[in-house]
Amino acid sequence: FGINFYQQEEYLDTILILIIVLISAILGFAQEYKAEKTIESLQKLASPKAKVIRDGKEQEIEATMVVPGDLIIVESGDIIPADAEILEGKLQIDESILTGESRAVEKSRGEKIFSGTHIFSGKAIAKVFATGMKTEIGKIAEKLQEMEEEKTPFEEKMEAFTKKVILYTIIVIVLTFLASFNKFGLLKASLLAVALAVAAIPEGLPAVTTIALALGTREMAKRNALVRRLKIIESVGSLDVICTDKTGTLTEGKMKVKDFWFVEENEKSKEISLKVCYYCNNSKQIVKNGNLTWVGDETEIALKEFAKEFVKEEGKRLEEVSFSSERMMMSVVHDFGNEILVLTKGAPEVIVEKCNRILLRDGVKKMSKEIKKKILEKNLEFASQGIRVLALAYKPVENSFKKEEIEKNLIFVSLVLLLDLPRKDVKEAIEECYSAGIRVIMITGDNPKTAKAIADMVGLKSNGVVSGEELEKMSDEELEKALDEDVNIFARASPFHKLRILEILKKKGLKVGMTGDGVNDALAIKKADVGIAMGIKGSEVTKEASDIILLDDNFASIRNAVKEGRKIFENIRKFVLFLFTTNIAEIFVVLFFSLFSPYLVLLPIHLLWINLVTDGLPAI
């Protein structure tokens, strides 16, 4: 009867262990399934359409249905559905998702356009030559699939811990069996050894770990950090370095007009400046998914959004001389009914050279060398503060104007100052990272002066700035030395530079978190200890490569994730300490009395009951 009683209790314990392991597996699967579903819903929201010409008719189809040889129609606001060659038309494209370069790129007949890139302005017909995994984005996705999944520090620690527990349990079983065999016989000695082994193994730990991770994941999701892999949470808590983008992560990601600067401020100058901002502009508002949204270059959107509060839509555009990276300026001729004006904006150093006059308080005057010098000095002063500066100019013309003379003999009006302001909570978040012993490194495609100015605003400390050009010339040893000397700002950096910096930091044994949004960032994100993708502006390839997706693209959400990761790890650590306090006491008592007493002080049923109360119930 006693043997059956023992056996029944062992069966009950076995069933309990199986139930707990099953619950752990279900919880882990449910959380990761939920994360994948959230990502799928994000993808569906952004599910792109494509306009194609088939059988001589224009049709709208799912972007995934486009095939090589299709003629596609792309225009302002579209995301290009496949790699194609332009047959007719002209486009301004944001290729930053692929190249990391934030400036708009001009494309015309004969040039290639790439899947996933965004059209700022223009319209074109293009012939598709690659889709799916054969596109430039697809090739990067293929490389990601070939990369092996690295174990997280949490998985490594749990694996090492499990090996130790198994080893010590085997030792305990052998010692207990040998010590009790002569006193109690084979059956009781075997039962005692097995029961003690079960008592020594913390079967509640997987449940506690999974529940703690699942609850932590839920808390992080509330704070705009979507965790794609449960086991990465502890890694987030053990980060030594966070490498972050600037635009949209440390800053709001949206240019805003800060102010105008005039040589001599007057009402006429303000009026003309606002007209240039509004009319010399190709951005527009469209209805997308039932909402009114802006499409176009971010600088033009900022100018028009600011000016529309003061300018009434009137007249019509007669002519446009488009912006290009070579010309660094744009002009339009606009008929207001009572007058026709050339309105021009562009780089100050270019515009100033096109102006032979200036609008002052007492009217239009000749532009002097002294005033030109003053304007250019102001431009440099503002640029050093991280402010983007454009010069605005105009001139009245007759209806019989000649296109080749539109941008000659202009009248200088003002400088318009634009700034992508830091997010409000970023400074505090960086201070908390420093307090927690986490280093913050900014890696941006923006210019060094802007990067340094934003770093100063958010309290990011750095011993100098290294540009992408300088980084190209550095050996790995020189880069490692720069990192050792606390250089924490890398400007005009490409996705390749990100990967290189990451590899140097990891070689030093540091745990690194890496943010990114472009497709070319995906390799660095995949290789980082914690890969962090942007939920709003991030590409699908980058999101798939990541461990965490920031739903608001905000650096402060990384700070929150780190805090949550550390809290979870601390909770698990406390439970393990609590667990082994009772388990070690059990082992010590049984071993001691097995060696020095003729009696069984703790029966197997006692051990199993203690184990259930101190291990199983707290775990649940």
pLDDT tens digits, one per residue of 422-473: 888 899 999 999 999 999 999 987 778 888 989 999 999 999 999 988 999 9
User: 277 and 384: one domain?
Assistant: yes
Residue 382 lies in a domain: yes
CA-angle at 60, arms to 56 and 63, nearest 5°? 115
Among 79-88, 502-511, 572-581, which stretch is predicted with the lowest mean pLDDT?
Answer: 572-581
What does the alpha-carbon distance between residue 238 and residue 510 come to, in Å, rounded to a whole number?
10
User: 558 and 460: one domain?
Assistant: yes
User: 268 and 396: one domain?
Assistant: yes
Residue 510 φ/ψ, nearest 5 degrees? -90, 145
Question: What CATH number does residue 312 fall under?
Answer: 3.40.1110.10
Note the pLDDT of residue 117.
Answer: 85
Residue 158 confidence (pLDDT) above 70: yes
Mean pLDDT within 339-351: 95
Contacts of 98 (CB under 8 A, 6+ apart): 114, 116, 117, 136, 137, 518, 519, 520
Residue 78 lies in a domain: no
Residue 258 lies in a domain: yes
Note the pLDDT of residue 448.
Answer: 87
Note the pLDDT of residue 13.
Answer: 53
Nearest to 298 by CA among 349, 351, 247: 247
What does the alpha-carbon distance between residue 299 and residue 304 come to, in Å, rounded to a whole number?
9
Residue 119 lies in a domain: no
Tokens 């010069």, located at residue: 391
Note the pLDDT of residue 25.
Answer: 65
Residue 58 lies in a domain: no
Residue 5 — very low, low, confident or very high, per pLDDT cuts 50/70/90? very low
What does the alpha-carbon distance between residue 188 and residue 184 come to, in Å, rounded to a whole number?
6
Residue 46 — very low, low, confident or very high, per pLDDT cuts 50/70/90? very low
Of 359, 394, 421, the last residue of a domain is: 421
> What is the torsional sign of CA 175, 177, 178, 180?
positive
Residue 518 lies in a domain: yes
| The pair of three-digit structure tokens given for residue 553, joined into one six-digit string | 């693209």
User: 264 and 333: one domain?
Assistant: yes
**Looking at the 3D structure of the chain, how many domains does it have?**
2
Residue 15 confidence (pLDDT) above 80: no
Tokens 């606002």, located at residue: 274
Question: What CATH number does residue 457 fall under?
Answer: 3.40.50.1000
Residue 615 lies in a domain: no
Mean pLDDT within 588-599: 71
User: 225 and 309: one domain?
Assistant: no
User: 515 and 367: one domain?
Assistant: no
User: 277 and 247: one domain?
Assistant: no
What percentage of the chain exceeds 90 in pLDDT?
36
Note the pLDDT of residue 45.
Answer: 44
Residue 79: DSSP 8-state? B
User: 246 and 264: one domain?
Assistant: no
Render pLDDT for 236-263 as a digit per residue (tens, 0 to 9).
888 999 999 888 788 887 889 999 999 9
What does the alpha-carbon distance between residue 610 and residue 477 come to, in Å, rounded to a whole number?
57
Note the pLDDT of residue 187.
Answer: 74
Cα–chain center distance at 603: 57
User: 290 and 331: one domain?
Assistant: yes
User: 328 and 239: one domain?
Assistant: no
Collapsing DSSP to helix, strand or coil, 90 comes out as strand
Average pLDDT, the chain: 83
Note the pLDDT of residue 71.
Answer: 94
Residue 284 lies in a domain: yes
Nearest to 430 by CA among 254, 551, 249: 249
When comparing pLDDT for 403 and 446, which is higher?
403
Active site residues: 245
Render pLDDT for 361-396 as a digit per residue (tens, 0 to 9).
999 999 999 999 999 999 989 988 878 899 999 999
When comparing pLDDT for 325 and 254, which is higher?
254
User: 445 and 523: one domain?
Assistant: yes
Render pLDDT for 178-237 as a digit per residue (tens, 0 to 9).
877 777 777 777 777 776 776 677 766 776 777 777 777 888 888 888 888 777 877 888
Task: Confirm if 226 and 548 have CB atoms less than 8 A apart.
Answer: yes
Residue 1 confidence (pLDDT) above 60: no
What does the alpha-carbon distance between residue 535 and residue 542 come to, in Å, rounded to a whole number?
10
Residue 601: DSSP 8-state? S
Of 405, 421, 437, the last residue of a domain is: 421
Of 406, 421, 436, the last residue of a domain is: 421
User: 408 and 488: one domain?
Assistant: no
Mean pLDDT within 488-496: 87
Highest-scoring range by mean pLDDT, 89-103, 348-362, 551-565, 571-585: 348-362
Residue 538 confidence (pLDDT) above 90: no
Mean pLDDT within 289-293: 75
Residue 102 confidence (pLDDT) above 70: no
When comparing pLDDT for 199 and 557, which is higher?
557
What percentage of the chain exceeds 70 in pLDDT?
83
Q: 245: domain range?
A: 219-251+424-565
